[in-house]
Amino acid sequence: MLLGSGELGKEVAIELQRMGVEVVACDKYDSAPAMHVADSRRVFSMLDGDKLREAIREEQPSHIIPEVEAIATPVLVELEKEGYNVTPTANAALLTMNREGIRRLAAEQLGVPTSDYRFASDYDEFVEAVKAVGIPCVVKPVMSSSGHGQSVIKSESDIENSWRIAQEGGRAGAGRVIVEGFVNFDYEITLLTVRSSSGTVFCEPIGHIQVDGDYRYSWQPQMMTPEAKAAAQDVARKVTDALGGYGIFGVELFVKGNDVIFSEVSPRPHDTGMVTMISQDLSEFALHARALLGLPVPSVRFLGASASRAVVVEGDTCEIEMENLDKVLEEPGVQMRIFGKPEIKGHRRMGVILATADTVEEARAKAERAYDKLKVTVK
């Protein structure tokens, strides 16, 4: 049972079906991407604990697979105690949905390096948190993803507006926020970490660029010194061991020289990891499916330098057209996925272009050339 049926959930559903698994796709809206391929669907707000509990008890799934943050995770904790199997664990879903939970686990319990941070529940606390951390700083709702509700305070005049953005952008509505100090880093990575019955394995590090907290480009591998790579794997292992369970984790890290600073972790496939659909013998989705079923993942074979370019569309419509696909795909080593989302409100990721080449630079340039040939019409 997939709790969340976006483009990442769609790929997980496909990989599970390849293993002979029946998939029930759930989301708050109908015709979500994973519902196009699932065996059945259910439409309800997963933040509604009663409806979530009712759906799970009716379906009696062998595996409950959270694929988004907007879930009544305390209900999953209760159901896990009743014997339901939550991937990777209900506690992992609970901690990582809430930035406060995962940050306190990493920094205060595990002693993993993080940015300076403060939490605030009201505006007065928020102003004090900004003063304590210092300007510039980043503000995020403790419950959000993909940049929703995130902003940067560059001067005191930004404080009030940043509070408003955070209160309007949280996945679970207005509430508590985290204020993070700026980190001086050379680059940031996603380190996909797979916990399975055969142990822990790491994918090659993924470099990426975000705009307003939302991924736009990713590439693999991100070049790192052997010392930095070892440090990144050490941090990822500590955090994922503490969360436990089987599945893939997207561990986000800042890197400065050989030093590694923990940012966030998702106990599920990561959007920047869509590049693995062209760069590895087993994509992050195939790895997640295999691991959560209790099957071994002895190794991951990296195929070569690759890149992805997100197709983000702006508008307020149920009708868009993507044209010139013959031009987009005319170069060797280029692929595309169109997600099939039913509507756009604001801006939304509607597809991804994938490319592989002899070097990361060439792969990124190839993906960008393909993107430039794509014509998107919003009606």
Residue 13 has pLDDT above 70, yes or no: yes
Q: Tens digit of pLDDT for each residue in 93-110?
A: 998 887 888 899 999 999
Residue 347's pLDDT band, with cuts at 50, 70 and 90, is confident
Distance of CA 161 to CAs 15, 24, 294, 346, Å? 43, 40, 47, 19
What pLDDT sits at residue 145? Answer: 62
What pLDDT sits at residue 170? Answer: 65
What is the radius of gyration, based on Cα positions, of the chain? 20
Instruction: Tell me which residues are annotated as active site.
Output: 145, 147, 252, 264, 271-272, 349
Q: Which helix (H) or strand (E) holds 332?
A: none
- Average pLDDT of the chain, as a whole number: 94
Residue with tokens 């009696």: 60
Q: Tens digit of pLDDT for each residue in 50-79?
A: 999 999 999 999 999 999 888 999 999 999
Task: Pick the closest to residue 123 from 57, 92, 69, 167 (CA basis).
Answer: 167
What pLDDT sits at residue 239? Answer: 97
Cis peptide before 88 (omega within 30 of 0): yes
What pLDDT sits at residue 126? Answer: 95
Cis peptide before 136 (omega within 30 of 0): yes
What pLDDT sits at residue 48? Answer: 95
What pLDDT sits at residue 97? Answer: 80
Q: Tens digit of pLDDT for each residue in 288-340?
A: 999 999 999 999 999 999 999 999 998 888 888 999 999 999 999 999 999 99
Contact call for residues 196 and 215 (beta carbons, < 8 A): no
Backbone angles phi, psi at 139, to 5 degrees: -120, 130
Residue 142 has pLDDT above 80, yes or no: yes
Asked whether the whole model's pTM tops 0.95, one would answer no
For the residues 97-125, what does the mean pLDDT come to?
Answer: 91
Instruction: Report CA torsion sign: 88, 91, 92, 96.
Output: positive
Contact call for residues 255 and 228 (beta carbons, < 8 A): yes
Q: Tens digit of pLDDT for each residue in 185-217?
A: 999 999 999 999 999 999 999 999 988 768 999
For the residues 250-262, what does the mean pLDDT come to?
Answer: 96
Other CB atoms within 10 A of residue 318 CB: 11
What pLDDT sits at residue 175? Answer: 80
Cα maximum dimension of the chain: 56
Report DSSP letters for 29-54, one per residue: STT-GGGGTSSEEEES-TT-HHHHHH
For the residues 224-241, what does the mean pLDDT come to?
Answer: 98
Residue 276's pLDDT band, with cuts at 50, 70 and 90, is very high
Residue with tokens 């087993």: 282
In a 13 Å sphere around the CA of 372, the CA atoms on its Cβ side amount to 7
Residue type, 165: I
Other CB atoms within 10 A of residue 319 CB: 11
Report DSSP letters for 118-161, one per residue: EEESSHHHHHHHHHHH-SSEEEEESS--TTTT-EEE-SGGGHHH
What pLDDT sits at residue 146? Answer: 60
